[in-house]
Structure 1
Amino acid sequence: MRSHRIAVIPGDGIGTEVCAAARAVLDAIGRKHAIAFTYDEFDWSCARYLAEGSMMPDDGLDLVRHHDAIFLGAVGAPAVPDHVSLWGLLIPIRRGFQQFVNLRPIRVFDGVPGPLRTSGAVDLVVVRENVEGEYSEVGGRLYRGTAADMAVQEAVFTRAGVTRIVDYALELAERRGGRLTSATKSNGIIHTMPFWDEIVAERSATHPGVITRAEHIDALCAKLVLGPEGFDVIVASNLFGDILSDLAAAVAGSIGLAPAANIDPTRTYPSMFEPVHGSAPDIVGRGIANPVGAIWTASMMLDHLGHPEAAADVLTAITQVFATTSLRTPDLGGTATTADLTHAIIEAL
C-alpha cells in the first residue's frame, strides 16, 4: 500500500463542504487501489484573517513544504477584500513553491448539456502561466487621495517563465490532440505580447507534430463560445488564462464542475489542487454546493501523485453518474444535495 500525506486547507464558505466530499472520494478510491491518505488540516482562511490579522502564519510555507500535495477548498469572504485573501494565501503558495503551471481541464459531460449549442464533444485544457505576467507586484500609487491620484501596474514576462509554460503546453498537446492555441494581444500590447508570440513561435518549431496557432484574446473568447469543440490545449498568460478558464467552465455548464491544479512540474515542491468555484457565501451551509469540481480536482491530484488508474476511475465515476442518473445540484438545474452527488460517485466507484 502506498501512502500520501496531504495538507488540507478547507478555507472559507463552501470550501469546507467540498473538501469533505473530495476526501470521502479519495478514501473510497484509496480502498480500491491500496492507497492510504493522511490529512493534516490547516485553518488558513478569511476567518483566520479577521481573527488574527493574517491568512496564514509567517511560517506557513514551511508547515506544508514536505507534504505530498496541498488540497484547497476555497478562499474568500465578503468582509475581506479579495486582494487581501489572494495575496495573503494563494499567491504566496503558488510563488513560494514555484507552481508555475495552472492546469484547468474543461469537459462537457454526457447528460449535462452546456448552455451552448455545439456540434461536437468539448474536451479542452487551459494551461495558464501562474507566477508572473500581469499579476506582478511591480507598480504603485502616487498622489493618493488627491485629484491627481494615479496607479501604475506593470506586467512582468521573462524568457524563462514564458518558455517553460509554453514547453509544458506543447508537451501536453503532443499527448492529446496535437493542437495548441496561444492567447495573445500583440496588436494592442506592444512589448509583452510580441515577446510572448516570439517565444511561442521559437518553441513550437521544436515540436513539429503540434499544430500551433495564435489568437487575439478578444477573438479567442468569442470563438470559445461559438465553437468550443474546436479547441484542444490553450496556453495563456496569467491574466488571459484566468479569464479563459472561467469562461470555458461556463461553456461546460457550471463553474461548479471546474477543477484546477497549481503544479510544480519539477516536483521540487508540493503542488496545490483546488476547484475554481470560489467560496460561494450565498449558499454556505445549505448542503447544495456542487462537489464535482473538488472531486475532479482530487482526480487530478491522484494522477500527479502517480496513480493514473485511480484518477481515471474517479473521472469515469463522475461521467457515469451524469450519464445514467438525474442527480444534479441546483447550479445544474437540479435539486440534489452535495451529499447525494458525492454518495452516487462513491457508489459508482
Structure 2
Amino acid sequence: MTRNYRFDFGTGTPAEGYTKITPQSGYDSFTGYGFTRTDRINAKDRGEPGALRRDFCIPLDTAFLLDAEDGIYRVSVLLGDEIAETETTIKAGQGRLMVHKQRTAPGSFSRISFSVWVTGGQLKLSFSGLAPRINAMEVEPAPQACTIFLAGDSTVTDQPDDGYPYAGWGQMLPMFVKQDAAVANFALSGRSSKSFISEGVLDQIWSRVKPYDYLLIQFGHNDQKFDEERYTEPFTTYKQTLKTYIDGARERKAIPVLVSSVQRRFYEEDGTLRDTHGDYLTAVRELAAEEEVPLIDLAKASKALFEALGPEETKKLFMWLAPGEFMNFPDGTEDNTHFQQLGGIEIARLVYEELKALKLQPLMLYLR
C-alpha cells in the first residue's frame, strides 16, 4: 500500500472521499480490505450529527484487514455513538494492544491515532469490548516514524491469539506510545541473547533499523538454560553477547537500551521475592555502566511490584488460570514465569515509567 485509505463504517451515505464499509464488507483479495468475518457485525444509523458520526459498525468477534507492504502505518480511528455509551479495545497484528477499553459517553466521540509496525503484507486490527464501535478509519504510510525495536524472550514477545490470555509485556507496550512511534516486537519465546543472534533474528532488526530508532534488549531467562544453543555465563559470554547488540545499534546510529530480566513469581517464607536470576542481573547492570548505556532495571521494578501485591494478588498477573476459566486453557495452568494480559499491561507500564524516568530525547516526545 502506497496510498492513503479512508473508510467510513456503517450503512449511511459515505462521507466525501471515504470508502463505505458495511457489515457485509468481508475481506476480498481484489479490493484488499474488509472484515475477517461478518456474521456478528451490526450497524446503526442515528441520522446525525454528520456523515462520519451518524453511523457506525458494531464489530463483534472480527478483525479488519488491509493489504499493505511491510512497514509503519499511522492509523486514526473515530469511535463513538450519539445516544449510547461505548467501550472499544483494538489490537493490531498478533494481539498488540493499541487502544484499551476506550469509553465514550453518549453524544461524545474519540479520535485516536497510533502507529503500527506491519509485517506479512497485511494490517490487521481486531476489535473487542463491552460495546465496541468503529465510525471511521484513516490509514497512511509513516516511514519516518520512530521505531522502538524489542529483542527478548517469551516474557516480551507477541503471544498468538489462540493463546489468550497469555501475553508478553512488549505486546502491551504500544498502548503507552504516541502516534509518532511504533513498537516492532521481534522478541521470541525460548530465545537467549545467544540463540537470538545465531537464529538470525538480530539480523532482521539490523536490516530494518534506521538512525535514531531505539532497541530495547531483555535477555536472561533462557541464558540460564544449560544447553549449547542458549547458555551464556553471566560475567563473560553474557556480557560479550549483549555488547554485540549495543555495538550494532550504535553502528547504525540507533540507541540501545538494556533491560534487566523481569522477575519470576517465587516467594520466600517472609513474603519477599526470591531472586532466580542471580549474577545475570549484576552483569547487565555492570555492562550498562561500563558501556554508558541506559538501563531499565525491570528486575528491581517488578520485584517492588510483586512484593507490594503479595503471593495471592500476583496470581492475577501471571498465568495462574483455573480449569474452565479460559477457552484456550480448558484444564487451567499454574505458571510463575509468564503473564496473562493484565500482567503484560502492568509490566509494560513499569517499562513505560522507567523510560520516562530516563528522559531520553527524543523518545520522551513519543511516550503518552
Q: Same fold (TM over 0.5)?
A: no
Which structure carries more relative contact order (alpha carbon 8 Å, separation 6+)?
1
Please identify which structure carries the higher helix content: 1
Q: TM (normalized to structure 2)?
A: 0.28
